[in-house]
Amino acid sequence: MLRSIISDRCFFSTLFRIDSELAEDTRARGCPCGGALHVADYPRKPRWPHDISSEHQHRLSFCCASCRRRLTPPSVRFLGRHVFAFPLVVIASALAQGRSGHPLALLLRELGVDRRTFARWRTWWREVFPATRFWNLARARFSPPLDPPSPASLLDRFASGLDGLLSLLRFLSPLSRPDPAP
């Protein structure tokens, strides 16, 4: 199922629609200083197993007309400054969970992910993600608890298929931007 999502060329259009909704929510809240927000999108080249049209190669963002602060909404397409598309990090990590050796190498080759990159993702899921403020607040939503949390266990808690993946990406979208300064 997850492999078919990766090969679906309309998938990024769905993700862009969700990102647009998240951006509109950010714009509606406005800047904390009360200034008007102007579009300040910036280019990104998310890696994905097949070509992504140019309309999906920018991150939605805003800039305040008064204080010049950048306000970047959450995203289901981009995970912070990571090069690979956010869904690919989740899908590849979920598919590879529990695999080792040749099948894992085959999967990574198919997805265009270097094994060292995947090792960094695995470290992020095992060490960095459980320590985030986001997860420390969100973990209470899961009963029984997810300990440790993993992409596969998170996907299991959401509906199966495309809807489940989109729900999970929406849930994880706060991770796509840096935490605001305290």
- Tell whether 180 is covered by a domain: no
- Tell whether 181 is covered by a domain: no
- Tell whether 100 is covered by a domain: yes
Share of the chain above pLDDT 70, in %: 93
Task: Look at 57 and 180; give whichever has higher pLDDT.
Answer: 57
**Residue whose structure tokens are 């994880």:** 172
- Tell whether 33 is covered by a domain: yes
Q: Which residues of 121-134 are buried (b: 16+ CB within 10 A; e: fewer)?
A: beebbeeebbeeee
Q: For residues 10 and 15, what is the distance between their CA atoms, to the nearest angstrom?
A: 9
> Which range (27-31, 77-81, 127-131, 171-175) has the least confidence?
77-81
> Which range (20-24, 41-45, 171-175) has the least confidence?
41-45
What pLDDT score was predicted for residue 100?
54
> Which range (3-7, 123-127, 173-177) has the least confidence?
3-7
**How far are the Cα atoms of 58, 60, 81, 163 from residue 36, in angstroms, in the given order?**
21, 16, 26, 34
List pLDDT tens digits, range 41-58: 988 888 887 777 777 788
**81 in Cβ contact with 92 (< 8 Å):** no
For residue 173, which amino acid is it?
S
- Tell whether 115 is covered by a domain: yes
Q: pTM for this one?
A: 0.86
- Tell whether 50 is covered by a domain: yes
What pLDDT score was predicted for residue 15?
92
With cut-offs at 50, 70 and 90, classify the pLDDT of residue 148. Answer: confident
| Structural domains in the chain (count) | 1
Beta strands in the chain (DSSP E): 37-39, 42-43, 58-59, 62-64, 70-71
- Tell whether 182 is covered by a domain: no
What pLDDT score was predicted for residue 77?
92
Is the model's pLDDT at 181 over the cut of 80? no
Average pLDDT estimate for 67-87: 90
- Tell whether 55 is covered by a domain: yes
Domain membership of residue 24 as a residue range: 2-175
